[in-house]
Structure 1
Amino acid sequence: MNLNIQNETSRLRAVVLGTAVSNGPVPKLEEAYDPKSIEHIKAGTYPKESDMVLEMEAVAKVLHKYDVKVYRPEIIQDYNQIFSRDIALVIEDKFIKSNILPDREKEIKAIQHVIDEIDPDKVYKAPSEDIHFEGGDIMIHNDHIFIGTYKGDDYPDCIVARTNMKGVAYIESLFPNKTVKEFDLNKSMKDPKDNALHLDCCFQPVGTNKAIIHKEGFRNPRDYEYLVDFFGMDNLFHIDKNEMYHMNSNIFSIAEDVVISEKNFIRLNTWLRSLNITVEEVPYSEIAKQEGLLRCTTMPLIRD
């Protein structure tokens, strides 16, 4: 397999889509990794496996419609394998394994059949356990790489902080010819409306020169201003706290003019269509209860 990812929106040819099959029982509160899951565990509204399977199959159907090669993880019994974006990422022709939460190490083994198709010289793993990053925090945008991080002193104790500055430096070392820009994100284990779990929870490029953004997701106003300067205010679609909570920035591009989006994102989907972007709507509100959406469940391997 010849990997190729240069940005978030070029025509998709191959992708790993997670799976909700045999997702396991509702987690105990102490097993939850994010405030939104905790909220739904407490409320008794944590998503049912059968509903999430249907949602993910709707995405698979759209991907097949556009002739995208879809890889799925091997099923691990009673184990959450929904969010394939967390466990690895592709930049250019490099497959980079994430340093993820130790409890999730099995997930990367479940896509070994995909890794086996890749030139071993193109497969990378961070050399040290204190180098942290997840794919949801890393976006390639042509000659730029945007990376979400957390610079708070409480990083070691903040379970919703998934990418540290050592992770940023590691990615920078792999791509010395690219401009790497990190963004300090707001984190909260108590309120999901104040928690940007990954960069794609508050920002994502779309089309050729547009982006979706949530201003309050950034701890440092200068980071938000950097993106305003980069894209131009008129090219940004601003989402509010409620839209961020429902994961409006976490759609997924099949091409510059085709996206998969949640069917309830009325305001966003209307804006996308005004740009002559085809919006393939799917139900994904049950997946969203775990603080992830369409970008989180997909890991692109090849784009034109």
Structure 2
Amino acid sequence: MLKLNVKNETSRLRTVVLGTAQSNGPTPTKEEAYDPKSLEHIIAGTYPIEKDMVNEMEAFNNVFKKYDVQVFRPEVIEDYNQIFTRDIGFVIEDKFIKANILPDRDRELDAIKYVLDQISPQNIVSAPDEIHFEGGDVMLWNDYIFIGTYKRPDYSNYITARTNQLGVDFIKELFPNKIVKSFDLVKSKTEPRDNALHLDCCFQPVGIDKAIIYKGGFYDEREYQYLVDLFGVENLFHIEREEMYHMFSNVFSIAPDVVVSEKNFTRLNNWLRDNSFTVEEIPYAEIAKQEGLLRCSTLPLIRD
């Protein structure tokens, strides 16, 4: 059996579910796009092809092998996008919480049933249908759970709004000993540079006391300021609008001092090295065209 344990984003990783780009299916139509960045590339004819995405994910998998991380992959569903495992569930402490995701993505959970079967049933949590959350919006930092959400009344009009207030309340009830803090994110259906699809598109802790942050992703400046005060401005790497578009905050930590990052993120990667991180650079720019990157492709199950 798997003894789940995740309390933050950066402790030494032992076991993870990494998505797959095998049999990813044809390029979606404009009507099928889940997010404005995918739409942009569908229209431009630059939507990523399967072979390139498989190669990128294999580079990621090789980094996990290097660090002796146990890796599970979803069972392949034909012609189906299964790259972003972060959306389908997440672990907090010893609980696996099934995400309530866009309805036509339910099959992605079925594809990791063989993993869930290795988890004690009492540690698997499901929520009623009206409660929405996805793993990209849920960020752990020891005593804190940070949750990205969308608080305005037009929530149901936005396919890019993935976590509602009911989702925030559900997590609060489940973990009464944690400090649960929600952040109202900026959303756009049409401009990917102004769409924080999930919290990890505009914020993520790295190391023990540092974080990457994009001020423009927060609808309420006071919520952004809360994180500045908590981490200290000197510990934050502020990214620009175009860097947010390329998903600079969506890196992935294998250990407090090891970060997997996209090889083109020069400014960020230099800052990480200047702060004594080992940076494992891999190509991931094709997958990024679907408004998801390294953190989105992973579902950590066990960290030290």
Cross-structure match for 1:184: 184
Cross-structure match for 2:135: 135
After TM superposition, the structure 1 = structure 2 runs for residues 108-257 of structure 1, keeping only pairs within 5 Å, are 108-126=109-127, 128-257=128-257
After TM superposition, the structure 1 = structure 2 runs for residues 74-93 of structure 1, keeping only pairs within 5 Å, are 74-93=75-94
Partner Cα separation in structure 1 for residue 34 and residue 249 of structure 2:
20
After TM superposition, the structure 1 = structure 2 runs for residues 258-273 of structure 1, keeping only pairs within 5 Å, are 258-273=258-273
TM-score (norm 2): 0.99
- Cα deviation code 1:154-181 (max 9, x no counterpart): 1011100000000000111110000000
State, as a whole percentage, how many aligned pairs show the same letter.
68
1:88 to partner: Cα distance: 0.2
1:240 to partner: Cα distance: 0.2
Partner Cα separation in structure 2 for residue 157 and residue 228 of structure 1:
31
Aligned residues: 303
- Cα deviation code 1:172-210 (max 9, x no counterpart): 111000000000000001100000000000000001100
Paired residue type of 2:236:
L
1:33 to partner: Cα distance: 0.4
After TM superposition, the structure 1 = structure 2 runs for residues 273-292 of structure 1, keeping only pairs within 5 Å, are 273-292=273-292
Paired residue type of 1:17:
L
Partner Cα separation in structure 2 for residue 178 and residue 151 of structure 1:
21
1:151 to partner: Cα distance: 0.8
Paired residue type of 1:99:
N
1:221 to partner: Cα distance: 0.4
Partner Cα separation in structure 1 for residue 43 and residue 75 of structure 2:
30
Partner Cα separation in structure 2 for residue 152 and residue 146 of structure 1:
18
Structure 2 residues without counterparts, runs of 5 or longer: none
1:74 to partner: Cα distance: 0.1
Structure 1 residues without counterparts, runs of 5 or longer: none
Paired residue type of 2:95:
K
Paired residue type of 1:2:
K
Cross-structure match for 1:8: 9
1:153 to partner: Cα distance: 1.4
1:45 has 2:79 as partner? no
Partner Cα separation in structure 1 for residue 60 and residue 129 of structure 2:
34
Paired residue type of 1:222:
R
Paired residue type of 2:80:
Y
1:146 to partner: Cα distance: 0.1
1:152 to partner: Cα distance: 1.5
RMSD value, Cα = 0.4
Partner Cα separation in structure 2 for residue 171 and residue 88 of structure 1:
13
Partner Cα separation in structure 2 for residue 205 and residue 109 of structure 1:
30
Where in structure 1 do 4 or more consecutive aligned residues deviate above 2 Å?
Answer: none
Partner Cα separation in structure 1 for residue 117 and residue 302 of structure 2:
15
1:23 to partner: Cα distance: 0.2
TM-score (norm 1): 0.99
Paired residue type of 1:189:
K
